[in-house]
Structure 1
């Protein structure tokens, strides 16, 4: 007598007979591609972080330059009496030092009486406002001085002579004044070991430029 048990066709088995598809190992080429993607993602952040930081620094420098330019325009308006206050006495606002907000703890500072159109660099005291901050080998330098012929090119050459490489430079002018905002790298071989040393060197550079300008006027 024949067995009447139903015949089971393995070719039509449901997924439950073999487990879910997710438990099946991926093909070798898929595993290789995934591993390559993970390695690429691990390598990417270092470069991305450097570019992001570099871009952020450039953006901050651009904003700083815009702020300095606006401050120069504001001071010029105040200087020429084109801006008035709305107080009861209708007095003109008191004019402070131009760009004074950009110098928190300057190593060299000129008196307020010599700023603006009355600014002069012929004193034996400080001939410019100079502030330097130093973090490892990166120096931020701000200089407010009287404008002189070929002053910037002479400063760049002087920086190179003491192994300071200028990375970024903003220049803002106001009448006879000029504000330099400089980012510089302290290169190997530089003998300037502190912010005060760098500020002193910059002041010495400016004094030489000033003396050359005065001698040029007398010849």
Structure 2
């Protein structure tokens, strides 16, 4: 086979593989159709899925250490306040500033990415919770650009991309706390 034919076959295979990667990745992660954007978007998607996997594994470990009483596998929610249960972890590097606020009810992470905020929550399924979060964000005058909902068994991940307005006076730490509070409201 000639060098030209081998190269043509390699490019065809590469384009087919890129099409498959693009079809398997939510469109939010891929901003343009060029090869570098597709690969970069897939990398970001895989990183997020690894985070989800780590969070699910940590929840599984927590459940196995302290199983809830009774026949139900769902943890019982008490009247405690999220302020007494959460801890804020702030991490800062050149590109990102973020905070996470975790409790037995939900894990909340907010981080600045470019000119937007990426907000992620992981919790057990709570009917109407996504509506509470959306209402809270709208009441804070934040514009939701994208929402992705992923679930596995009784666990659900909400990923929001939120536009930061110039009038926004809320820090990522305060946003994480406010969203965490929405999980305890009945």
TM-score (ref. length: structure 1): 0.44
Gaps of at least 5 residues in structure 1 are 1-52, 76-95, 101-108, 213-219
Deviations 1:80-115 (A, max 9, x none): xxxxxxxxxxxxxxxx75165xxxxxxxx9982379
Paired residues, what number?
A: 124
How much has 1:184 moved relative to structure 2?
0.8
SS of residue paired to 1:207: coil
In structure 2, stretches of 5+ residues that fail to align are 1-29, 86-102
In terms of Rg, which structure is larger?
1
Query: 1:169 and 2:150 equivalent?
Result: no
Structure-2 residue corresponding to 1:60: 41
Alignment partner of 1:112 is 2:44: no
Which residue does 1:158 correspond to in 2? 136
Partner of 2:176: 199
CA deviations over 1:170-191 (Å, ceiling 9, x no partner): 1111222111111111223333
- After superposition, the CA RMSD in angstroms is 4.0
Q: Distance in 2 between matches of 1:164 and 1:61?
A: 27
The answer as to whether partners of 2:55 and 2:122 remain within 8 angstroms in 1 is no
1:143 has 2:114 as partner? no
Change in 2 beyond 3 A, CA 1:171/1:182: same
TM-score, normalised to structure 2, is 0.51
